Structure 1
Amino acid sequence: MQVGFAPPVSGSWATPENMVHVARRAEQLGYHSLWTFQRLLVPADLGWSETYHSVQDPLTTLAFLAAHTGRIRLGVAVLDMPFLSPVVLAKQAATLDVLAGGRLDVGLGLGWAEEEYQATGASRHRRGRRAEEFLAVLRALWRDEVAAHRGEFYQVPPTRMQPKPVQRPHPPILLGGHAPGALRRAGRLADGWVSGSQADLRGIGAAVATVRAAADDAGRDPAALRFVCRGAVRVRPAGPADREPLTGTLGQIRSDLGRLAEAGITELFVDLNFDPEIGSPRADPYESLRRADEVLDALAPGR
């Protein structure tokens, strides 16, 4: 199982200096990838998790870090398709893949926040079918010399988009979501699946099996798919035997990584932004970075 790391994107520690420090340190230690996430808004009463109260834009952050790294892959988990134009995203992602030298992984989802649906003017109507067209438009623009699409939701006249992404035929597409339909869609249409911060890590093997079965039913090779887990790590004193996976001592967390690999996860990225003691606007940014350095060293590949 490959191991990645999430740079600071949420809360007080998400400064340019800290982003570069974590990204470069992760690359030096042999981590496979860096991952961001999207959150557009937060309710006025701040009723959501503090992780969502102050979040940097994911693609802009990755472009910034592309300029400060040279090998490590750059992923977003995930961008919400209902809030985006596939044509605009195709251009942004192709440009980022060029700037990064072919290191981009594109995670896509459907979103869950009603406030963001309202604010962006997005519709929930047939959003699964809309997502399938969204993927078709992306792939056509990235792959075809002349792209065209006439569908129920998107109309693209015969046009050309240059430059193309470095990765051919296109950057890997990973789909998020935990509903059965979302898992099956990932198996049918994507290069893999990426779990969310609220995933049941004890039962994640069942989600992997659903994606793999859908790929097999669609005549695709399940072994070719990637299964990426957001590892919402919380370093704490030794917990009980029934503790939450990835919460506990660094030794306990390291043992959890092996169990997730056995469940079919092919890549996990350590994400401290979802620790309320780190990814909060109220947290001490210097202490957050100190703790991140400890985790980077302790969980580095090969340690």
Structure 2
Amino acid sequence: MKYTVSIAMGPVDELVEIARTAEEVGFDAIALPDSLFYMEKQAADYPYTPDGSRMWNADTPWVDPLIAAAAMGAVTSTLRFYTNVMKLGSRNPLLLARQVGSVANLTRNRFGFGVGIGWAPEEFEWCGVPFARRGKRVDEMIEVIRLVLAGGMVEFHGEFFDFDRLQMSPAPSEPVPFYVGGHTDVALRRAARVGDGWTSAMMTGAQLAETIGKLNALRAEFGRDREPFEYQAVCIDKFGVDGHRELADAGVTDNIVIPWMFDGLSFDAPLDKKKDSMKRFADTYIHSGWQQT
């Protein structure tokens, strides 16, 4: 099982040093969250908290994940980066293809594209995109972005997007993996059908095991059960070596963690404290050899 550090809601000026430290102590990747803006009034419930409230406020820091990946990639050589997840629905696929291809090239193929739809009607409507039929639109967006990133002269004529022959160069020298987020049945089917992996929001170990079972069945249904597939998980109730072993046994391939939270620190804790937490976490789980026992 791999280990990824999430940088959710942390100060922007700490990110480059966190990437350096994550690589030094042995983490595999950085997970980059996405939020366009904070609307004062929300028209829909946030889907990943019991009461629908957001876990952040207007002053919580966010950075564009693609820009962050490029900046953090410039000071590292082995660490990988992936969006967790980028909300596609309010964006344009050709512009995204240009950005994703640039990040993949700048990081020398150390970037994975975690994708979702987006839950907030305001993010769609205030960016000039209808909220209606968002799932179908995102399905087509994934097709467009993958097509363009593959390189060469391409064209696309779909229901939502239509363009004649064009080419973006340079194309990434390796395919960019797509990790599909979401917990609904339609999201799981999307992940099984077109994804190179699935990424969770906050879930219990039991929920993760059940969902991974569903995804394995769906992948078999789509004839993709022999292809490599990542299960990236944020688990809220499996801790310690025994808990991590349970997650691995359930099929989790990538454990997304915020190490300083396990030490009782906040998102805006001092950088040196966060670095200490990352090293302590790595010594306990990454270098302890528990996966060989």
For the superposition of Structure 1 and Structure 2, which TM-score range results when normalised by the shorter chain?
Answer: 0.7 to 0.9
Question: Which residue matches 1:269?
Answer: 256
Deviations 1:72-102 (A, max 9, x none): 1111111011021111111111111111111
Q: 3-state SS of the aligned residue for 1:43? A: coil
**CA pair 302-89 structure 1, distance change in 2 beyond 3 A:** farther
The TM-score with structure 1 as length reference comes to 0.82
Verify the 8 A CA contact 1:9 1:19 in the aligned structure 2: no
| 1:279 is the counterpart of 2:267 | yes
Q: Give the counterpart of 1:300 among 275, 278, 286.
A: 286
Letter in 2 for 1:298: T
Question: Which residue matches 2:50?
Answer: none
**How many percent of aligned residue pairs carry the same amino acid?**
25
Verify the 8 A CA contact 1:176 1:195 in the aligned structure 2: yes
Verify the 8 A CA contact 1:9 1:56 in the aligned structure 2: no
**CA pair 100-284 structure 1, distance change in 2 beyond 3 A:** closer
Question: Which residue matches 1:123?
Answer: 130
Measure the CA separation in 2 of the matches of 1:177 and 1:213. 17
Deviations 1:123-146 (A, max 9, x none): 232222212111110111011411
Measure the CA separation in 2 of the matches of 1:27 and 1:123. 40
Q: Give the counterpart of 2:244 among 228, 232, 257.
A: 257
Superposition deviation, residue 268 in structure 1: 1.3
**CA pair 71-51 structure 1, distance change in 2 beyond 3 A:** farther
Q: Give the counterpart of 2:165 among 151, 158, 179.
A: 158
Question: Which residue matches 2:15?
Answer: 19
Verify the 8 A CA contact 2:97 2:145 in the aligned structure 1: yes
Verify the 8 A CA contact 2:12 2:63 in the aligned structure 1: no
Larger RCO, structure (CA 8 Å, separation 6 or more): 1
Superposition deviation, residue 50 in structure 1: 2.7
Superposition deviation, residue 221 in structure 1: 2.5
Question: Which residue matches 1:43?
Answer: 39
Verify the 8 A CA contact 2:231 2:254 in the aligned structure 1: yes
Q: Give the counterpart of 2:210 among 203, 206, 221.
A: 206
Verify the 8 A CA contact 1:185 1:214 in the aligned structure 2: no
Question: Which residue matches 1:177?
Answer: 182
Q: Give the counterpart of 2:149 among 142, 163, 169.
A: 142
The TM-score with structure 2 as length reference comes to 0.85
Unmatched segments (≥5 aa) in structure 1 = 232-243, 247-251
Q: 3-state SS of the aligned residue for 1:195? A: strand
Superposition deviation, residue 300 in structure 1: 2.9
Matched length: 277
| 1:94 is the counterpart of 2:101 | yes
Verify the 8 A CA contact 1:5 1:270 in the aligned structure 2: yes
Deviations 1:265-298 (A, max 9, x none): 1111213588895225xx5565555544443443
**CA pair 178-137 structure 1, distance change in 2 beyond 3 A:** same
Measure the CA separation in 1 of the matches of 2:41 and 2:131. 24
Q: 3-state SS of the aligned residue for 2:245? A: helix
Verify the 8 A CA contact 1:180 1:210 in the aligned structure 2: no
Letter in 1 for 2:161: Y
Letter in 2 for 1:255: D
